[in-house]
Amino acid sequence: MGVTIGSIGLIFGTLFGQDMHQFLPFVAAGTIVWALLSTLIIDGCTTFVSSESIIRQIKLPYSIYIFRMVWRNLIIFAHNIWVFVATVVMFSAWPNEMAWLAFPGLLLVLINGVWIALTLAIFSARFRDIPLIVTSALQLLYLATPIIWLPNSLRGQHTYLYEYNPLYHLLELVRAPLLGQSPTLANWTVGVVLALLGWTFSFAVFARYRWRIPYWI
């Protein structure tokens, strides 16, 4: 993670003529939070399929497999966040009192991550091409999300690239406080509404198809 952030930050920061004291912490925070979001989604696709032997032999709540995957990625995130800390120390870009908002932001990200993982795990058990489609879609979203480029670099109508990107709003819930900024009302609104609608949909899908999961895998 450190090598990735250093390489991206130095290369794109030099090409675009960015101030490294601002750009590298921005890239570090964005890359680490994006890694958490993307792995929750990608790993969620294969959660049930990869646990096939256990599911067919032992009757356990399906939520255990989802929470195990979430916990694993949260531990990885806890290791990666030290790369951001090292970047902050290197450039003396200390976060202010807004930094505590990263904790409720991270909680909201995990709440959304659970329902996304559960939904994709169910559909991926039935349709094995979904993980490939999701991985390709995330690669495109990575380029369309302000991670290696600053949001203020876009003007006019092109701002839709991130304003209508729900992953951007989830990312900002954690990244903005780490950079000493407060997430906007739009960020919180999208995160909460996405959680409410997503959990409603996910619960409906799970209630209908949960009994088919052992046969699909």
Q: What is the mean pLDDT of each run of 10 residues along the chain (217 residues)?
A: 87 80 89 94 91 86 92 94 89 80 94 94 91 93 88 70 87 92 92 95 92 87
Residue-averaged pLDDT of the chain? 89
Contact between 162 and 168 under an 8 Å Cβ cutoff? The reply is yes
pLDDT at 58: 86
Q: Name the one residue in this structure whose structure tokens are 């930050």.
A: 9
Q: Which of 163, 178, 134, 141 is nearest to 32 (CA)?
A: 178
Q: Which domain holds residue 70?
A: 2-216
36 within 8 A of 117, measured Cβ to Cβ? no
Q: Is 107 helix (H, G, I), strand (E, B) or coil?
A: helix
What's the pLDDT score for residue 167?
A: 92
If one counts the domains in the chain, the total is 1
Task: Name which of 145, 148, 142, 152 is nearest 181 in CA terms.
Answer: 152
pTM of the predicted structure, to 2 decimals = 0.89
- Report the pLDDT value the prediction gives residue 95, as an integer from 0 to 100: 76
Q: How far is residue 83 CA from its own chain's centroid?
A: 17
* pLDDT value at residue 138: 93
